[in-house]
Amino acid sequence: MPYARLSSYYFFHFAALGALVPFWGPYLLERGFGPAAIGLLMAILMGTKIVAPNVWGLLADRYGERMPIVRLSAALAVLGFLGVFWAEGLWAMALVMAVFSFFWNAPLPLMESVTFNHLGTRANRYASVRVWGSVGFILTVTTIGWWQERAGTGVIPIMVLVLFVGVWASCLIIPDKDQAGHDGVQLSLRRIVRRPEILFFLAACMSMQASHGAYYAFYSIYLQQNGYAGTAIGALWAFGVVVEVIVFLGMHRLLERFGARRVLLASLAVAVLRWTLIGFFVDIVAVQIFAQALHAATFGAFHAAAIHLAHHYFPGPTQGRGQALYNSASFGVGGAVGSLVSGAMWSTAGPTPTFVAMAGAAALGWVAAFRHVDRMRRY
């Protein structure tokens, strides 16, 4: 298995995410965009995940090749991002973000599929590859937190561009890999998706990512407004992912012992607690540190369990589209809805009610998962 080459993709992809998610909101704020506009722009960043992965997933499943599509989309993301340096005004920035995020969001589900195909029967070891994405995220948020405090938010798009180039370069060295054992088998994606457990699985994933809306769009701004320095903000983001790394390293044992269903339910319950703590106790540093430690569950454990279930739910020739559907429903629809709702609430209701609403979204996801997801099996 090309462990180092697969890991390099996750490293650069999530390093770029570490530059965009915590710091893009403050960058947009400094460029003159208000909360509603930031919510809209962050929704675009998430919303392109609704369309892009499905388009590329369909092409990959139809032609049986994934890596050429991954390489093309990564290159187009680099070219599309260059427009950020010239975009002026809301609609120009919205167009640029729609273009570059469309191509940047497209490859990840295909890479998940390629990774699981390389893992073969060792699917529980996915987290040992994915953990390098967390390492990249940590290095980025700590570096940018320190750098922007000294040089301003103008360093953020420069860093994102460098990391996008890294994503493209890593794609060039990863070999493609088809799933074995499904030659000649005709599977209908539509028939698979009609199963209640899969519909509710997708609904639970959508609710979980919607609950992250205020966190991704406004957490750094929220901390800034309450007196936290850029270095401290970067450190809090990094700490959450450090704990996530620890969980990733033991994730295969958690899945083997408890099964994906229980991990999913526990992660959703923890999300309710996390958003409540952030909303009510932003001025207490110790509480924020604890809340960031819970990122290991709300993102790390949840995503590992969800991607594990998606791999089993969508076998053979439906794999690329299945992973894309999971990505679109959760990070796409869920992320976009969460960003739009939090953007609308932030200026009117305020930060605390916004995070309470996010906790409510996670609670709805728990109900969906508890009632239907994988009740009879333990993957």
How wide is the angle at C-alpha 67 spanned by C-alphas 66 and 72, nearest 5°? 105
Distance set, CA 58 to CA 65, 124, 189, 252, 317 (Å): 11, 26, 11, 30, 10
**146-176 pLDDT per residue, tens:** 888 788 878 899 999 999 999 999 999 988 8
The whole-number average pLDDT for the span 10-38 is 89
Question: Which tokens belong to 213?
Answer: 């809306």
Q: What percentage of the chain reaches a pLDDT higher than 70?
A: 92
The whole-number average pLDDT for the span 209-235 is 91
Q: Is the pLDDT of residue 219 over 50?
A: yes
Q: Determine phi and psi for 106, rounding to 5 degrees.
A: -65, -45
Q: Write down the pLDDT at residue 178.
A: 67
Q: Is the pLDDT of residue 364 over 90?
A: yes
Q: Write down the pLDDT at residue 266.
A: 94
Is residue 354 within 8 Å of residue 345, measured between CB atoms? yes
Rounded to the nearest 10 degrees, how much is the dihedral formed by the CA atoms of 79, 85, 88, 93?
40
Q: Write down the pLDDT at residue 126.
A: 74
Distance set, CA 293 to CA 50, 101, 238, 241, 271 (Å): 29, 28, 10, 8, 11
Spell out the residues 6+ positions from residue 262 whose beta carbon is closer than 8 angstroms to its own. 378
The whole-number average pLDDT for the span 230-245 is 88
The whole-number average pLDDT for the span 360-365 is 96
What residue ranges define each of the domains in the chain, with the CATH number in brackets? 3-175+192-372 (1.20.1250.20)
Q: Write down the pLDDT at residue 183.
A: 47
Question: Which tokens belong to 175?
Answer: 């070999």
Is residue 279 within 8 Å of residue 226, measured between CB atoms? no
Q: Is the pLDDT of residue 121 over 70?
A: no
How wide is the angle at C-alpha 304 spanned by C-alphas 300 and 307, nearest 5°? 135
The whole-number average pLDDT for the span 120-143 is 80
Alpha-carbon span 368 to 105, nearest angstrom: 26
The whole-number average pLDDT for the span 137-144 is 86
Alpha-carbon span 115 to 128, nearest angstrom: 11
Question: Which tokens belong to 226?
Answer: 């309450």
Q: Write down the pLDDT at residue 182.
A: 47
Who wins on pLDDT, 3 or 201? 201
Q: Write down the pLDDT at residue 377.
A: 55
Q: Write down the pLDDT at residue 185.
A: 46
Q: Is the pLDDT of residue 356 over 50?
A: yes
What does DSSP assign to residue 175? P
Q: Is the pLDDT of residue 63 over 80?
A: no
Is residue 212 within 8 Å of residue 335, measured between CB atoms? yes
Highest mean pLDDT among 74-88, 297-311, 318-332: 74-88
Q: Write down the pLDDT at residue 58.
A: 75
What does DSSP assign to residue 120? T
Is residue 108 within 8 Å of residue 46, measured between CB atoms? no
| Closest by CA position to 134, among listed 271, 281, 7, 11 | 11
Q: How confident is the model at residue 316 (pLDDT cuts 50, 70, 90)?
A: low
Q: Is the pLDDT of residue 379 over 50?
A: no
Torsion over CA: 81, 126, 290, 231 (sign): negative
Question: Which tokens belong to 107?
Answer: 């490859």
**Whole-number mean pLDDT of the chain?**
86
Alpha-carbon span 330 to 271, nearest angstrom: 15
Torsion over CA: 15, 21, 25, 31 (sign): positive
User: Residue-wise over 339-368: b if at least 16 C-beta within 10 A, else e?
Assistant: bbbbbebbeeeebeebbbbbbbbbbbbbeb
Q: Is the pLDDT of residue 184 over 50?
A: no
The whole-number average pLDDT for the span 101-107 is 86
Q: pTM for this one?
A: 0.74
Q: Is the pLDDT of residue 206 over 90?
A: yes
Q: Is the pLDDT of residue 131 over 90?
A: no
The whole-number average pLDDT for the span 301-327 is 79
Question: Which tokens belong to 256?
Answer: 């083997």
The whole-number average pLDDT for the span 21-40 is 88
Q: Write down the pLDDT at residue 317.
A: 66
Alpha-carbon span 2 to 119, nearest angstrom: 9
Who wins on pLDDT, 101 or 190? 101
Q: Map tokens 């890991």 to a residue.
A: 7
Who wins on pLDDT, 248 or 76? 76
Q: Is the pLDDT of residue 368 over 70?
A: yes
Least confident of 27-41, 57-71, 324-338: 57-71
The whole-number average pLDDT for the span 34-60 is 83
CA 248 to chain centre: 15
